[in-house]
Structure 1
Amino acid sequence: MTNENEFDFGAFKQAAIKSLYEGKPLTCENGLFAPLLKHFLKSALEGGMDGQLAQTRLPEQNRRNGKTTKQVKSSAGPLELQTPRDRTGSYQPQIVPKRQIFLTPQLEQKVLSL
């Protein structure tokens, strides 16, 4: 059984192939890559938090403390991301920094090229 928060690559692949045959665009608003972009950003944010917590000198004083939801605008349309928080408030996400609401075209190209 899969967690509802996990990305199902098999289902994504099936939907992408079907959508390509139907002529749906790849990268514009609501394009094929929107779910993949959202999954990548979510994974990158979680990985950044994991990395920071692993480097903490006193791990018992800093740990995960929920998530903050924010809307980010991209060429794939609006995406709702959940940015992890830590107890000390020291986590500064690098991929989508605090208060950033637009994804740059350069970032989107890097993600899609991966």
Structure 2
Amino acid sequence: MTETLPSVSSMPKEAKKTRRVSRSETERAAVRELVKAARARGEDLTGPDGLLKILTKDVLEIALEEEMTEHLGYDKHAAEGRNNANSRNGTRAKTVTTPAAGEVVIEVPRDRDGTFEPVIVKKRQRRLNDVDAVVLSLFARGLTTGEISAHFA
């Protein structure tokens, strides 16, 4: 069973072409630096512990944290979250499979009431498509966590 992310895979071909063309030299330089740094450390770009897998994990976890922040209505460690009816309740490990990065173990945040319904990686979803391309695009653009959340929303 293969599931796709509607917000990612339903992008019109024209928009994808425009996005590729609109990358600035600064964004390309950021990706170039990531690749150079990984190679300098002796890391592979793909494979079990490659750069693509690490970036995929980081982007998914950041997006999930931003979704939790939106769900609860306050930032992590914010004072308004203390003694609130619902709050963060740790994380749980989940393994998802992506076409380019393979299996990626991510930490999915939980809330005390159990009402958090993630969007980027839905409950019981194990296979992600098109996420790898989005991961490279987001890191190339140097997006903040808020911008990453908005992109996936």
TM-score with structure 2 setting the length: 0.53
Q: Which has the higher strand share?
A: 1
Question: In the alignment, is residue 109 of structure 1 matched against residue 127 of structure 2?
Answer: no
Tell me what 2:56 maps to: 37
Letter in 2 for 1:95: I
Higher relative contact order (CA 8 A, sep 6+): 2
Name which of 66, 72, 82 aligns with 1:53: 72
Deviation at 1:36, TM superposition (A): 1.1
CA RMSD in angstroms, aligned pairs only: 2.5
Tell me what 1:18 maps to: 40
Tell me what 1:83 maps to: 108
Q: Which has the higher helix share?
A: 2
Count how many residue pairs are aligned between Structure 1 and Structure 2: 95
Where 1:33 maps in the other structure, the secondary structure is helix
Q: Which segments of 5 or more consecutive residues in structure 1 lack a partner in the other structure? A: 1-11
1:41-82 deviations in Å (ceiling 9; x for gaps): 111111110111107xxx611101121111111221211111
Tell me what 1:69 maps to: 93
CA distance in 2, matches of 1:77, 1:29: 8
Q: Quick one: percent identity of the two aligned structures?
A: 39
Letter in 2 for 1:50: T
Deviation at 1:17, TM superposition (A): 3.7
